[in-house]
């Protein structure tokens, strides 16, 4: 037990280890109280990491939106009307745009594009009309959500007018034609020769009812 004298001196003078951070060669055992306070300190730091990560994971939601807006990788085109002026039409190539419509499951509306596909030059205005009918016996408010595939093309689709910018309320049995005007940015990379624009209709009556009842009343 050659270590005994050294340990004894520690027991007499436990404060030594307060100054001594635990290093490779520290041979000074700490008291339980010192150990406990040190442990509590480290644990507190780790709790901050936990809280930080919790905040970070909620921050991912807006970060994801910003990231997708900048890169367009989730296929969401801009939800604001573009202005069509001084756009150069690139007549050297033609882009095919296909239109797909669907209603979210459980929603009984009829919804279709009047034109299945159009071909146009980048920079040229295109117009498509969508037919929609509410065959149910209830007034329903719908929201159309666009999605473009391949996603990156979404950055180059500029809509000057779209029904999807607003809600689409239809009374029971009512039908409507909804227009959409757009042009493809001439900056569209050469490898894109066609893309698909899909609209999905969601029933949002439950969430926006109060506001729309007012809107419909003023229309009627």
Residues that bind another protein (CB under 8 A): 1, 3-4, 7, 10-11, 14, 22, 24-33, 35, 38-40, 42-43, 46-47, 49-51, 53-54, 56-58, 60-61, 64-65, 68, 71, 73-76, 104, 143, 145, 147, 149-152, 200, 202-204, 207
- How far apart are CB 83 and another protein at their closest, in Å? 23
Which three-class secondary structure state does DSSP give residue 56? helix
Nearest to another protein of 38, 185 (CB atom) = 38
Tell me the C-alpha distance between 112 and 128, whole Å.
11
Closer of 132 and 152 to another protein (Cβ): 152
CB-nearer residue toward another protein: 33 or 217 = 33
Nearest approach, Cβ of residue 81 and another protein (Å): 17
Q: How far is the CB of 177 from another protein (least distance, A)?
A: 22
Distance (Å, rounded) from C-alpha 118 to C-alpha 156?
16
Q: Which is nearer to another protein, 16 or 176 (CB)?
A: 16
Q: Are 194 and 98 in contact (CB under 8 A)?
A: yes
Are residues 172 and 137 in contact, defined by beta-carbon separation less than 8 angstroms? yes
- 111: nearest Cα among 140, 85, 88: 140
Q: Exposed/middle/buried for 113, CB within 10 Å: 0-12, 13-18, 19+? A: buried
What does each C-alpha distance from 9 to 14, 17, 27, 195 come to in angstroms? 8, 12, 11, 80
Radius of gyration of the CA atoms of the chain, in A: 32
For residues 2 and 92, which CB has a smaller minimum distance to another protein in the complex? 2
Q: Least CB distance from residue 7 to another protein, whole Å?
A: 7
């Amino acid at each position: 037990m050659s270590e005994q004298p050294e340990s004894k001196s520690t027991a007499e003078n436990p404060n030594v280890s307060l100054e001594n951070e635990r290093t490779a060669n520290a041979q000074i055992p700490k008291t339980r109280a010192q150990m406990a306070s040190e442990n509590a300190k480290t644990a507190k730091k780790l709790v901050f990491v936990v809280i930080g990560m919790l905040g970070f994971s909620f921050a991912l939601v807006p970060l994801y939106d910003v990231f997708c807006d900048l890169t367009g990788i989730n296929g969401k085109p801009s939800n604001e009307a573009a202005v069509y002026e001084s756009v150069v039409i690139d007549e050297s190539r033609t882009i095919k745009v296909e239109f797909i419509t669907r209603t979210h499951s459980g929603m009984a509306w009829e919804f279709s594009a009047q034109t299945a596909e159009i071909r146009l030059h980048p920079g040229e205005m295109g117009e498509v009309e969508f037919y929609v009918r509410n065959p149910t016996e209830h007034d329903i408010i719908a929201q159309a959500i666009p999605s473009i595939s391949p996603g990156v093309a979404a950055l180059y689709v500029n809509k000057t007018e779209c029904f999807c910018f607003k809600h689409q309320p239809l009374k029971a049995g009512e039908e409507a034609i909804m227009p959409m005007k757009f042009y493809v940015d001439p900056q569209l990379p050469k490898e894109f020769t066609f893309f698909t624009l899909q609209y999905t209709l969601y029933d949002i009556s439950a969430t926006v009812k109060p506001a729309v009842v007012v809107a419909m009343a003023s229309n009627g």
